[in-house]
Amino acid sequence: MSHFDERAAPSELDTAEGLKISSLVANLDDESPSLAWRSDLNETLRAESNRLQRRRRVVFWLRPAMGLAFAASLMGVVFLRSVAESPSSNSLEAKLVSEFRAVAASSEVAGPTAVAGVELASSRGGSSDRSQEDEMWNQLVDENAISL
Protein backbone atom coordinates (compact mmCIF):
# COMPACT_ATOMS: atom_id res chain seq x y z
CA MET A 1 0.00 0.00 0.00
CA SER A 2 1.25 3.50 -0.83
CA HIS A 3 1.34 6.35 1.64
CA PHE A 4 -1.21 8.33 -0.37
CA ASP A 5 -3.96 5.70 -0.64
CA GLU A 6 -6.69 7.47 1.34
CA ARG A 7 -9.40 4.83 0.86
CA ALA A 8 -7.41 2.11 2.63
CA ALA A 9 -6.32 4.28 5.58
CA PRO A 10 -9.54 4.18 7.68
CA SER A 11 -9.92 0.42 7.33
CA GLU A 12 -6.35 -0.19 8.54
CA LEU A 13 -6.88 1.98 11.60
CA ASP A 14 -9.73 -0.28 12.64
CA THR A 15 -7.44 -3.31 12.90
CA ALA A 16 -5.66 -4.27 16.14
CA GLU A 17 -2.30 -2.98 14.93
CA GLY A 18 -3.82 0.30 13.76
CA LEU A 19 -5.49 0.85 17.14
CA LYS A 20 -2.24 0.07 18.94
CA ILE A 21 -0.30 2.58 16.83
CA SER A 22 -2.93 5.28 17.23
CA SER A 23 -2.89 4.85 21.03
CA LEU A 24 0.94 5.10 21.08
CA VAL A 25 0.85 8.30 19.00
CA ALA A 26 -1.87 9.76 21.23
CA ASN A 27 0.24 9.11 24.36
CA LEU A 28 3.32 10.94 23.00
CA ASP A 29 4.24 14.18 24.72
CA ASP A 30 3.82 17.34 22.73
CA GLU A 31 7.43 18.47 22.46
CA SER A 32 8.08 22.10 21.78
CA PRO A 33 11.54 23.17 20.63
CA SER A 34 13.87 24.25 23.39
CA LEU A 35 15.03 27.83 23.74
CA ALA A 36 18.62 26.82 23.01
CA TRP A 37 17.56 25.20 19.73
CA ARG A 38 15.55 28.27 18.79
CA SER A 39 18.53 30.50 19.59
CA ASP A 40 20.83 28.38 17.40
CA LEU A 41 18.29 28.52 14.61
CA ASN A 42 18.04 32.31 14.86
CA GLU A 43 21.84 32.68 14.78
CA THR A 44 22.06 30.43 11.72
CA LEU A 45 19.31 32.38 9.96
CA ARG A 46 20.97 35.71 10.82
CA ALA A 47 24.33 34.50 9.45
CA GLU A 48 22.67 33.27 6.27
CA SER A 49 20.82 36.57 5.91
CA ASN A 50 24.08 38.55 6.25
CA ARG A 51 25.75 36.33 3.66
CA LEU A 52 22.90 36.89 1.21
CA GLN A 53 22.96 40.65 1.80
CA ARG A 54 26.71 40.73 1.12
CA ARG A 55 26.20 38.75 -2.07
CA ARG A 56 23.44 41.12 -3.21
CA ARG A 57 25.69 44.13 -2.53
CA VAL A 58 28.54 42.59 -4.55
CA VAL A 59 26.22 41.71 -7.43
CA PHE A 60 24.73 45.23 -7.30
CA TRP A 61 28.17 46.75 -8.00
CA LEU A 62 29.63 43.92 -10.07
CA ARG A 63 26.86 43.77 -12.67
CA PRO A 64 27.34 47.37 -13.96
CA ALA A 65 31.12 46.95 -13.77
CA MET A 66 30.91 43.84 -15.94
CA GLY A 67 28.71 45.71 -18.42
CA LEU A 68 31.19 48.57 -18.54
CA ALA A 69 34.08 46.14 -19.03
CA PHE A 70 32.19 44.45 -21.86
CA ALA A 71 31.46 47.79 -23.54
CA ALA A 72 35.12 48.84 -23.20
CA SER A 73 36.36 45.57 -24.66
CA LEU A 74 33.89 45.86 -27.53
CA MET A 75 35.09 49.41 -28.20
CA GLY A 76 38.70 48.17 -28.11
CA VAL A 77 37.93 45.44 -30.64
CA VAL A 78 36.19 47.91 -32.96
CA PHE A 79 39.03 50.40 -32.59
CA LEU A 80 41.75 47.81 -33.25
CA ARG A 81 39.82 46.45 -36.21
CA SER A 82 39.48 49.92 -37.75
CA VAL A 83 43.20 50.55 -37.27
CA ALA A 84 44.03 47.21 -38.88
CA GLU A 85 41.85 48.03 -41.90
CA SER A 86 43.45 51.42 -42.58
CA PRO A 87 44.92 51.68 -46.08
CA SER A 88 48.57 50.87 -46.61
CA SER A 89 51.00 53.76 -47.04
CA ASN A 90 51.67 52.95 -50.71
CA SER A 91 48.05 52.92 -51.87
CA LEU A 92 46.20 55.72 -53.59
CA GLU A 93 43.75 55.96 -50.70
CA ALA A 94 46.55 56.47 -48.19
CA LYS A 95 48.12 59.19 -50.31
CA LEU A 96 44.77 60.94 -50.76
CA VAL A 97 44.13 60.79 -47.03
CA SER A 98 47.60 62.14 -46.22
CA GLU A 99 47.15 64.92 -48.80
CA PHE A 100 43.79 65.82 -47.30
CA ARG A 101 45.30 65.94 -43.82
CA ALA A 102 48.12 68.14 -45.05
CA VAL A 103 45.68 70.51 -46.75
CA ALA A 104 43.46 70.57 -43.66
CA ALA A 105 46.43 71.31 -41.42
CA SER A 106 47.68 74.07 -43.70
CA SER A 107 44.21 75.61 -43.91
CA GLU A 108 44.10 75.73 -40.12
CA VAL A 109 47.45 77.51 -40.04
CA ALA A 110 47.11 79.77 -43.10
CA GLY A 111 43.41 80.48 -42.87
CA PRO A 112 40.66 80.06 -45.43
CA THR A 113 42.18 82.24 -48.19
CA ALA A 114 45.29 80.24 -49.04
CA VAL A 115 45.46 76.47 -48.81
CA ALA A 116 48.74 74.79 -49.72
CA GLY A 117 49.63 77.55 -52.17
CA VAL A 118 46.24 77.50 -53.94
CA GLU A 119 43.77 80.32 -53.60
CA LEU A 120 40.08 79.63 -53.16
CA ALA A 121 37.76 79.81 -56.17
CA SER A 122 35.84 82.68 -54.59
CA SER A 123 38.95 84.86 -54.49
CA ARG A 124 39.80 84.24 -58.17
CA GLY A 125 36.23 84.04 -59.22
CA GLY A 126 36.17 81.22 -61.58
CA SER A 127 36.08 77.88 -63.14
CA SER A 128 39.80 77.97 -63.93
CA ASP A 129 40.49 77.27 -60.26
CA ARG A 130 38.31 74.17 -60.48
CA SER A 131 40.20 72.96 -63.50
CA GLN A 132 43.49 73.49 -61.65
CA GLU A 133 42.21 71.30 -58.81
CA ASP A 134 41.17 68.64 -61.32
CA GLU A 135 44.61 68.77 -62.89
CA MET A 136 46.24 68.38 -59.45
CA TRP A 137 44.16 65.29 -58.64
CA ASN A 138 44.76 63.79 -62.08
CA GLN A 139 48.47 64.36 -61.64
CA LEU A 140 48.37 62.67 -58.24
CA VAL A 141 46.54 59.67 -59.70
CA ASP A 142 48.96 59.48 -62.65
CA GLU A 143 51.97 59.60 -60.32
CA ASN A 144 50.66 56.62 -58.41
CA ALA A 145 49.79 54.73 -61.62
CA ILE A 146 47.10 52.62 -60.03
CA SER A 147 44.74 50.93 -62.43
CA LEU A 148 41.17 50.57 -61.33
Assigned domain for 55 exists: yes
The pLDDT value given to residue 88: 63
Number of Cα atoms under 13 Å in the Cβ half of residue 39: 3
Assigned domain for 75 exists: yes
Give the mean pLDDT of 76-82.
80
The pLDDT value given to residue 42: 93
Split into its structural domains, the chain has a count of 2
Q: What residues make up the domain containing 135?
A: 92-144
Give the mean pLDDT of 86-114.
71
Gap between the Cα atoms of 56 and 58, Å rounded: 5
The pLDDT value given to residue 80: 81
Residue type, 112: P
Give the mean pLDDT of 120-126.
49
Residues 74 and 108 in one domain: no
Residue 19 has pLDDT above 70, yes or no: yes
